[in-house]
């Protein structure tokens, strides 16, 4: 982080400039056995492509509200940073009927159809795979995002003080997200670069988003994000902490 970082997208930019090759997000799904590790550079590339999809093909503008109906997942983290890059307000688990756009996983497609604007669907399959049959009325993220540009430039500057995130009923600006993430870091034992936090928290609360993305990003650390961790045996969990060189945990 630098003193000029006032949005989550700013934090990612500083991380990319400092050490693009280091791990940033490592994701496990213990229901499927999936493991994905994304370096800062790879994660930032996904964010740039997704931001280009948002701004270009989906015509999203600063201040638009996006209902994000996704679990704790590496692709959810990508969407959170892409929205920050464009200036789109992310409403986590928000009402699609009141949103300008909706992004849905495979289990919330019916609810997502209440959105009258653009709809994007993610299959959440290993390696970012597409749906076997594209859901009607939705853009299949895995089909449309690979062809997007690898660099992103917003049409309009993003205001750090504009609403950026709604989670569990609380609305935060981009600057407030950064400030709260930094305040959370000591309590999560994130001491700076090299810190590696394993989080099993869902993304439907601030505490889950902070531990699972924002606080590690703000402090130069990394996150091991675990979904369905309750299906993992204790000895396997201990082994993961060791092999992933975890320095702190959040459950």
Q: Which structural domain, as residue segments, surrounds residue 73?
A: 8-250
In a domain, 148, yes or no: yes
Q: What's the confidence (pLDDT) of residue 169?
A: 93
In a domain, 222, yes or no: yes
pLDDT tens-digit map of 225-241: 999 999 999 899 999 99
- Look at the chain and report how many structural domains it folds into: 1
In a domain, 56, yes or no: yes
pLDDT tens-digit map of 78-130: 999 999 999 999 999 999 999 999 999 999 999 999 999 999 999 999 888 99
Q: What's the confidence (pLDDT) of residue 2?
A: 76
Work out the angle at residue 186's Cα, subtended by the Cα atoms of residues 182 and 190, and round it to the nearest 5 degrees.
85
Six-digit token pair at 75?
């692709």
1 has a pLDDT exceeding 90: no
d(CA 168, CA 33): 30
What pLDDT band is residue 10 in, cutting at 50, 70 and 90? very high
Work out the angle at residue 60's Cα, subtended by the Cα atoms of residues 59 and 63, and round it to the nearest 5 degrees.
150
Q: What's the confidence (pLDDT) of residue 3?
A: 76
Contact assessment for residue 7 and residue 158, using Cβ atoms and an 8 Å cutoff:
yes
213 has a pLDDT exceeding 80: yes
Contact assessment for residue 143 and residue 53, using Cβ atoms and an 8 Å cutoff:
no
In a domain, 3, yes or no: no
In a domain, 190, yes or no: yes
In a domain, 111, yes or no: yes
What DSSP string describes 82-121? HHHHHTPEEEET--GGG-SEEEE-TTSHHHHTT-SSEEEE
In a domain, 66, yes or no: yes
Is 0.95 surpassed by the pTM of this model? yes
The CATH number given to whatever domain includes residue 63 is 3.40.50.12780
25 has a pLDDT exceeding 80: yes
Contact assessment for residue 27 and residue 74, using Cβ atoms and an 8 Å cutoff:
yes
């Amino acid at each position: 982080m630098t003193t000029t970082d006032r949005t989550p997208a700013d934090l990612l930019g500083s991380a990319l400039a400092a050490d693009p090759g280091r791990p940033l997000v490592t994701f496990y799904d213990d229901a499927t056995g999936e493991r994905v590790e994304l370096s800062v550079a790879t994660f930032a590339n996904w964010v740039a492509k997704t931001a280009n999809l948002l701004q270009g093909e989906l015509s999203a503008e600063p201040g638009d509200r996006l209902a994000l109906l996704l679990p704790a997942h590496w692709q959810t983290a990508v969407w959170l940073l892409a929205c920050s890059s464009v200036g789109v307000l992310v409403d986590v688990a928000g009402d699609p009927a009141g949103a300008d756009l909706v992004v849905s996983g495979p289990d919330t497609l019916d609810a997502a159809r209440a959105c009258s604007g653009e709809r994007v669907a993610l299959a959440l399959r290993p390696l970012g795979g597409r749906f076997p049959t594209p859901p009607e009325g939705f853009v299949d993220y895995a089909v449309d995002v690979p062809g997007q540009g690898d660099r992103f430039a917003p049409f309009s500057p993003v205001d750090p003080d504009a609403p950026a995130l709604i989670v569990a009923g609380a609305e935060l600006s981009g600057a407030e997200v950064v400030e709260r993430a930094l305040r959370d870091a000591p309590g999560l034992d994130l001491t700076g670069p090299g810190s590696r936090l394993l989080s099993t928290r869902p993304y439907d609360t601030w505490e889950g988003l902070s531990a699972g993305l924002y606080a590690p990003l703000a402090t130069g650390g990394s996150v091991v994000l675990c979904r369905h961790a309750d299906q993992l045996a204790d000895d396997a969990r201990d082994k993961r902490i060791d092999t992933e060189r975890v320095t702190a945990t959040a459950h």
